[in-house]
Amino acid sequence: MKTLDDLDVAGKRVFVRADLNVPLSGETITDDGRIRAVAPTIAKLAQSGAKVVVASHLGRPKGAPDPQFSLAPVARRLGELLGRDVVFAADTVGDSARAAVAALADGQVVLLENLRFNPGETSKDDAERGAFADALAALADLYVGDGFGAVHRRHASVYDLPARLPHAAGQLVTAEVGVLRRLTEDVARPYAVVLGGSKVSDKIGVIENLLDKADRILVGGGMVFTFLKAKGYEVGSSLLQEDQIPVVQEYLERAEKAGVEFVLPVDVAVSASFPDVKGGAPVEDFEVVPADAMPEGRLGLDIGPESGRLFASKLADAATVFWNGPMGVFEHPAFAEGTKAVAQGLLDSPAFTVVGGGDSAAAVRTLGFDENAFGHISTGGGASLEYLEGKTLPGLAALED
């Protein structure tokens, strides 16, 4: 896979497929981590005299312009981070985009409007995707893939476009792939994996693939209640995927035979209903109960304090840790302690620590941790998981020669 150093970019139009899919509240960016992650690649290209054409998706518009998913606020923030003006094109391959790109001088940057405003970006029809990729290719001389959070998608700008232009991986993608190789090839042991989030079904593939790679798998978040139910415990009104119970039971049995330690919470923070995370109002019926004695009508919303200490102890002597998914509803102070305990456990461990994108990365920043203190914070939770599942990621395959 070629890198930026393999490209002669001076005076060339360089199309950068970034992942600028940031959370917005109106036009306010609430977490700019993904913009900051790709900014070094864009800055290096601009400083090398390239005419930089940046493109990304944001949210899930339905193949047509939708103001709530506009990248205009991102253009402003990107300009602040780069310390240079970023021109914003009001479309992807239309008059505004073509005019903005044609007017670029060496070292200047333009950001196109949301790629998903065009149905060709996400189409399952090869011809429709290809036609959109052709239109994008007309805007550039070279392609740089640096949107790691999208490399598991077979989309026009991720998969089809690199086939039409000389291409290389950006600095972010290069770094992300290097980290993931450390999690899959010659892993330093003990290797501990912490999985959270809401659904077991979202993590089945990675659990399957890690059963012969990890030494310990720690489970929290909403997905843990399917594990607790599989062990015969009552889980009150907690999130439960009944159809996954047989699969979980099989994994627990296989793990025991393989000598892989599954660590489940011993206590759980519960309430009668889901909290108001925006208002952050106190939870009057908050209580901590044993994981094997959850009362009827109670909803598990975080691992308990004893579980937090248990999880931290299981990370203390690890050499490698991968964490994907919060331990509870971290957006509310009452149910953030489990996620805090895991984050602190990673920081206290001597291990090479990887935070696997998505909600985990947001939690680290929201809860006030220094993200530079972790070994690596990924920008792509879904892409990281699919890589660990052993899947071929279309956006990475497209960058190979």
Q: How far apart are CA 19 and CA 38, in angstroms?
A: 8
Are residues 328 and 301 in contact, defined by beta-carbon separation less than 8 angstroms? yes
Reported as type and span, the H/E element at residue 219 is: strand 216-219
Distinct helix (H) and strand (E) counts, the chain = 13, 17
Q: How far apart are CA 76 and CA 87, in angstroms?
A: 9
Q: How far apart are CA 234 and CA 289, in angstroms?
A: 12
Q: Is 298 a catalytic residue?
A: no
Selected catalytic residue, list 199, 213, 231, 365: 199
Strands 287-290 and 267-271: antiparallel
Q: How far apart are CA 123 and CA 280, in angstroms?
A: 40
Q: Is 153 a catalytic residue?
A: no
Selected catalytic residue, list 358, 380, 381, 395: 358
- β-partners of residue 54 are 16, 111
Which of 328, 263, 281 has its CA nearest to residue 301? 328
Q: Is 199 a catalytic residue?
A: yes
The CA-based angle 354-355-361, given to 5 degrees, is: 155
- Residue 62 neighbours by CB under 8 Å, 6+ apart: none
Q: Is 358 a catalytic residue?
A: yes
Selected catalytic residue, list 34, 51, 229, 340: 34
Residues designated as active site: 34, 199, 358, 382
